[in-house]
Chains A and B, each alone.
Chain A
């Protein structure tokens, strides 16, 4: 494995990122229902480093990746898509025999996590789209993860079977009973290796806990409980108990007409099992302590930055809505993403964030058009690197941005087939906002707003990132990282 620690003194934006892998069908236009593939790939997320000769295929948007998550060691990478499927990739262990395949993420397992359902009482269809996946810390040979759609959370157990017993006395190879007269001696069955089989089984189904749409789940550091949050409520579940959950936050007003804000994301503190944070559509964060009371409606700390009056517009409220909140690995900071910025908050300071980074401020003058085409409602995620020195988030035109907190440098990179040859270093991109335009700059008006990077994940310890661009999964590695192999 790589010896380079993420967050070394050189700083991550000094890191050279190169495309390591690209999984997914060749890009196609995705509209609400129908999409046409320029090149056909039979299954989603299958390795496709070279576009196949064209044959057109009409597919739905079911392949659109809706969540990406590394497990705690980084060995496994799970993606969920709009069609309710989960694909798990496993990193190939180092091997001296095949130096170039080291560290490659190959498909480990694919399964259908959620199916579309129909709520007869409300006459509503419940989408099967996977909103979030969270891995449980590994406690034995099996891996477990939680996946959720709008209403139901499921606990999946992933086990491997690579040996099977052979040499039964009473049964033959195919399992048929042997004729007893042919049995002349006794043998002890022996485990023989077999082709690896990955079995995924649903161990728990946590249903009927939410009236509104579940937007986040978070596993507690106690490894026994987890929470799920919808627009108005947060529930605490025990991983082993499916028939009840505790409601720990309820911001539903007595009169729905008085509703002014909703919960947009939530997460448990990485070390303190009693603390969790949730963000609101008004841009505030609330840190709650479960020791204080059973119902944590009253926050322990409220993190809110007063609005800048000079930036006021019709859309101020929308763009201040927090779309994602993540604790740093250290537990000292929180990272939030709103429409135009990412902010780092110190848990000890409630009045304002300690750092604010502009992701794409050039969009500020275009808010009305973005409102019209619904882009203003896009929910971008954000991520920390392993050492909490660099933060990353996605943007439009398949751009993603990284900000180095130490050097204060930032970089814009693009996840696209055209500009990424495997192992070639990604070239930083620049969006020009009038004024001097350099070669290769892209103007704000040429940005493709249908190509948005909402979901990104950073390996827990190494400089490996997974970027979901519509239906494609890009895995980038720091060049130094890959050269060590």
Chain B
């Protein structure tokens, strides 16, 4: 249990670092962000595999659950800055499509972790993400890019793929002011990496679904979070 708490704490710290790295002078430091994402991934794995998590709901139910369902009480667990009111245009744009609360499903580390009511993301932590968004004019064009329609829900079979594949969860962070943290980037939705994204560094391949600048740090989201994809793609 202690490990779980520590892992939890490390995950929050890591996310905080990734967030604050955005405003850094000189641009994102690839090395540091890679290391942070490594730590994030390890901590997440520990967190998810530690016993003591609430029991997982059946996969089918999870998938079927409508997006609007209320998020688990996890929010409380995540200390963070009070979220500023979300911008109008994003209010509705919620956990759409394939954010399968796969939570426990498809996740190799079942460990009975809780997704409790696998709440599909939902506007948990807008917080920093939002603020960041509002502040910088630079980000606006990017957001516009990401306006595209919500991704088509992916077939259930793909869930596992997405889970284990390089979901661009963190990519979005860099591309769209943290909206990406909610993850769930359907594989199909991802824009092919542009020539290593070099030319578009900073304007990360907008993971469309990722608009909403929310940081969902709850259990299910954690599972889908693939730190790899990471920041790096932002370059």
Query: Which residue numbers of A lie inside 8 Å of B, CB to CB?
Result: 119, 121-127, 129, 150, 211-213, 215, 231-232, 252, 254-262, 264, 281, 314-315, 317-318, 321, 368, 371-372, 374, 377
Q: How far is the CA of A150 from the CA of B27 in the complex (A)?
A: 10
Query: Which residue numbers of B lie inside 8 Å of A, CB to CB?
Result: 6-7, 9-10, 13, 17, 25-27, 29-32, 34-35, 38-39, 42-43, 46, 138, 166, 168, 171, 193, 196-199, 201-203, 226, 228-230, 232-233, 235
Q: Which 9 A-B pairs rank lowest in CB-CB distance, beginning with the nearest?
A: A257-B166, A127-B26, A124-B27, A257-B229, A122-B202, A256-B233, A231-B30, A123-B138, A256-B232
Assess the A262–B43 pair: CB atoms within 8 A.
no
Task: For residue A264, give the distance in angstroms from its CB to the closest CB of chain B.
Answer: 7
Assess the B166–A377 pair: CB atoms within 8 A.
no
Assess the B25–A127 pair: CB atoms within 8 A.
yes
Assess the A281–B202 pair: CB atoms within 8 A.
no
Task: For residue A364, give the distance in angstroms from its CB to the closest CB of chain B.
Answer: 15
Assess the B27–A371 pair: CB atoms within 8 A.
no
For A252, what are the chain B residues with a Cβ–Cβ distance below 8 Å? 196
Can you name 6 A-B pairs with beta carbons within 8 Å? A257-B171, A260-B34, A261-B34, A314-B39, A315-B39, A368-B6
Assess the B235–A255 pair: CB atoms within 8 A.
no
For B31, what are the chain A residues with a Cβ–Cβ distance below 8 Å? 213, 215, 231, 262, 264, 281, 321
User: Which residue of the partner chain B has the closest CB to A280?
Assistant: B31
Assess the B39–A257 pair: CB atoms within 8 A.
no
For A261, what are the chain B residues with a Cβ–Cβ distance below 8 Å? 34
Task: For residue B27, give the distance in angstroms from its CB to the closest CB of chain A.
Answer: 4
Assess the A262–B30 pair: CB atoms within 8 A.
yes
Cross-chain contact of B35 among A124, A256, A377 (Cβ < 8 A):
A377
A314-B10, A371-B10 known; A211-B198 Cβ under 8 A: yes
Task: For residue A376, give the distance in angstroms from its CB to the closest CB of chain B.
Answer: 8
Q: How far is the CA of A75 from the CA of B10 in the complex (A)?
A: 48
For A318, what are the chain B residues with a Cβ–Cβ distance below 8 Å? 35, 38-39
Assess the A256–B196 pair: CB atoms within 8 A.
yes
Assess the B193–A256 pair: CB atoms within 8 A.
yes
Task: For residue B19, give the distance in angstroms from its CB to the closest CB of chain A.
Answer: 14
For B43, what are the chain A residues with a Cβ–Cβ distance below 8 Å? 314
Q: How far is the CA of A256 from the CA of B235 in the complex (A)?
A: 9
For A232, what are the chain B residues with a Cβ–Cβ distance below 8 Å? 30
Q: How far is the CA of A232 from the CA of B171 in the complex (A)?
A: 18
For B197, what are the chain A residues with a Cβ–Cβ distance below 8 Å? 256
Q: How far is the CA of A477 from the CA of B30 in the complex (A)?
A: 38
Task: For residue A42, give the distance in angstroms from its CB to the closest CB of chain B.
Answer: 26
A259-B228, A259-B230, A318-B35 known; A211-B235 Cβ under 8 A: yes
Assess the A211–B35 pair: CB atoms within 8 A.
no
Q: How far is the CA of A129 from the CA of B193 in the complex (A)?
A: 31
Q: How far is the CA of A44 from the CA of B26 in the complex (A)?
A: 23
Known: A124-B27, A259-B228, A372-B13. 13 other contacts (CB 8 A): A122-B27, A127-B25, A129-B26, A213-B26, A213-B29, A257-B228, A257-B230, A259-B34, A260-B228, A314-B10, A317-B38, A317-B39, A368-B9
